Amino acid sequence: MRHIAIVGSGPAGFYTAEALLKSGDATIDIIDRLPVPYGLIRFGVAPDHQSIKAVSRRYEKVALTPGVRFLGNVHLGADVSSEELLHYYDAVVLATGAPLDRRLGIPGDDLPGVVGSAAFVGWYNGHPDFADLALPLDQGDAVIVGNGNVALDCARILAKTPGEFVGSDIVAHAFEALGSSAIRAITILGRRGPHQIAMTPKELGELGHLEAAAPLVDPDDFPPAGTDAALDPGQRKSVELLRGFAASPPDGSKPRTITFDFFAKPIAIEGEGRAERVIVERTALGPDGQARGTGQTYAIPAGLVISCIGYASPPIPGVPYDEALGRYPNRDGLVEERMFAVGWARRGPTGTIGTNRPDGFAVAEAIDAAFPPGTTDTGRDGPAGLDRLLASRGCDPVLFADWQKIEAAEVAAARAGAPREKLVRVPDLLKASGH
Ligand code: NAP
């Protein structure tokens, strides 16, 4: 029997487990530092995108398959080391995602009121690390940096009315705080232009249908319409949506405005003891398609600044780490002998949830090649060894059956119309799990 440890219970981890189950003859332990499974599905996907979150039912089936275990509340690097995992398991798969915010790296990016998207998204999605995040929602102006889908998620969540959260699982503290938010002007800064956005049509289109907010785009920011033909179909659709926004500017009937400010690079954040304004430099595209500063600067008022400019994976003691890439250097997923990376830990923070599936299958194939099903007896102890080690350290993992108790408690506590009310603190999660 082969023994595989997967670190991280988000999409990449579960798709890898699913792929490994196809060839069988394996015990698969999925470890997570939090007492709850599903990673990005629970803590990253927007609470008003419940249909995307439904994929967790597929992961649940994997978790309930004999030979697969979920071990939450087990922290790699604290409760168990990577060397110990390699000692007990034939292969270790890092599916830790990319949960750390990349810093803007400009003066003032550490002022109160400046947060990264991992923190803001974690806050409204009930991630225990961000339950107490202080957000200046009493200020009128917010600036969002970045032109990707995460920027759209953040703008939409800031712009929605309480009624628009019906059916979502936005956590109570965020629902209440956003319900009384004073934010009226939301500016999305893109350092390049409309043709260079990383926003997909469905997500962009949502901004055109908000109850109390309207998008504002400057028609002068577009290249000639004929040049749209060279874009791939998805990008062309997104640019068409932007052109539509530009053609019908807000008529004043909605109290909030979401302004797209293109060719705008933040160079500093200023304020007396907290963020008050973002200093922006106008850019132009260089011959390489990258943004070049023009030297022309201006200020945008901003009590809240959310940077949505990408993420990094967490360094793990004993595991090679590339600071510049923000992830584990690997060749086709192989980090070092018997250690693999999948998903964002392998490729960086790009692609949709489904993009992780082929990654999982590729790594499962590599593991099958190194340890063919039915032929291995490596003498490694697998789950029994880990259980002994964790018990000796007083670490009591949250198993999948324990998680199901948490899930039942969250469903029972849901406000009217919501699928669940997430518990947002580790002690509360552990208590609900029966620990
Ligand atoms: P992203 O798509 O890579 O976008 C990052 C944005 O940040 C880009 O516009 C980039 O501009 C900009 N940027 C990077 N560094 C910057 C800097 N120093 N100053 C100013 N701007 C900077 O990343 P993301 O939005 O975090 O999304 C991550 C992945 O999750 C993507 O694949 C996304 O599609 C996916 N996602 C999907 C959904 C959904 O399907 N509903 C929702 C959320 C996220 P440049 O292009 O100029 O580098």
- Assign residue 384 the CATH number of its domain: 3.40.50.720
Residue 434 resides in a domain? no
Task: Give the relative orientation of helices 117-124 and 172-179 as an angle to the nearest 10 degrees.
Answer: 100
Same domain, 88 and 120: no
CB of 192 closer than 6 angstroms to any ligand 1 atom: yes
CB of 128 closer than 6 angstroms to any ligand 1 atom: no
Last residue of a domain, one of 260, 290, 307: 307
Same domain, 142 and 80: no
| Residue 281 bridge partners (DSSP) | 265, 297
- Pocket-testing residue among 41, 150, 192, ligand 1, by greatest number of atoms within 8 A of Cβ: 150
CB of 343 closer than 6 angstroms to any ligand 1 atom: no
Name the burial class of residue 193, with classes exposed (0-12), middle (13-18) and buried (19+) by CB atoms within 10 angstroms of its CB.
Answer: buried
Question: Are the C-beta atoms of residues 426 and 128 closer than 8 Å to each other?
Answer: yes
Give me the pLDDT at residue 373, please.
Answer: 86
pLDDT in tens, the chain (435 residues): 899 999 999 999 999 999 999 988 999 999 999 999 999 999 999 999 999 999 999 999 999 999 999 999 999 999 999 999 999 999 999 999 999 999 999 999 999 999 999 999 999 999 999 999 999 999 999 999 999 999 999 999 999 999 999 999 999 999 999 999 999 999 999 999 999 999 999 999 999 999 999 999 999 999 999 999 999 999 999 999 999 999 999 999 999 999 999 999 999 999 999 999 999 999 999 999 999 999 999 999 999 999 999 999 999 999 999 999 999 999 999 999 999 999 999 999 999 999 999 989 999 999 999 888 886 678 899 999 999 999 999 999 999 999 999 999 999 999 999 999 999 999 999 999 999
Closest alpha carbon to 313 in 336, 286, 342, 285 = 342
Alpha-carbon distance 78 to 317, whole Å? 9
Alpha-carbon distance 315 to 310, whole Å? 16
Question: Are the C-beta atoms of residues 396 and 73 closer than 8 Å to each other?
Answer: yes
Amino acid at 299: A
Residue nearest to atom 31 of ligand 1 (CA): 350
| Residue 268 bridge partners (DSSP) | 279
**Residue 80 structure tokens:** 């168990």
Residue nearest to atom 25 of ligand 1 (CA): 148
| Residue 225 bridge partners (DSSP) | none
Question: Are the C-beta atoms of residues 302 and 278 closer than 8 Å to each other?
Answer: yes
Same domain, 299 and 325: no
Closest alpha carbon to 116 in 262, 326, 256 = 326
Alpha-carbon distance 369 to 305, whole Å? 48
Q: Is 150 annotated as a binding residue?
A: yes
The closest-lying atom of ligand 1 relative to the alpha carbon of residue 44 is 43
Give me the pLDDT at residue 378, please.
Answer: 82
The end-to-end CA distance of the chain, in Å, is: 31
Domain containing 163: what range? 103-307
Residue 162 resides in a domain? yes
If one counts every other C-beta atom within 10 angstroms of the C-beta of residue 245, the result is 22
Same domain, 143 and 225: yes
Q: Is 192 annotated as a binding residue?
A: yes
Same domain, 263 and 372: no
Same domain, 176 and 284: yes
CB of 309 closer than 6 angstroms to any ligand 1 atom: yes
Alpha-carbon distance 55 to 248, whole Å? 36
Same domain, 147 and 289: yes
Q: What total number of domains does the chain contain?
A: 2
Last residue of a domain, one of 307, 339, 354: 307
Same domain, 366 and 264: no
Same domain, 319 and 280: no
Spacing, Cα 310 to ligand 1 middle (Å): 6
Residue 132 resides in a domain? yes
Residue 61 resides in a domain? yes
Same domain, 393 and 323: yes
CB of 90 closer than 6 angstroms to any ligand 1 atom: no
CB of 156 closer than 6 angstroms to any ligand 1 atom: no
CB of 351 closer than 6 angstroms to any ligand 1 atom: yes
Residue 343 resides in a domain? yes
Same domain, 144 and 49: no
CB of 146 closer than 6 angstroms to any ligand 1 atom: yes
Closest alpha carbon to 435 in 398, 407, 389 = 398
Same domain, 90 and 158: no
- Pocket-testing residue among 48, 121, 149, 352, ligand 1, by greatest number of atoms within 8 A of Cβ: 149
Give me the pLDDT at residue 307, please.
Answer: 98
Q: Buried (b) or exposed (e) across 45-72, using 16+ Cβ within 10 A?
A: bbbbeeeebebbeebbebbeeebbbbbb
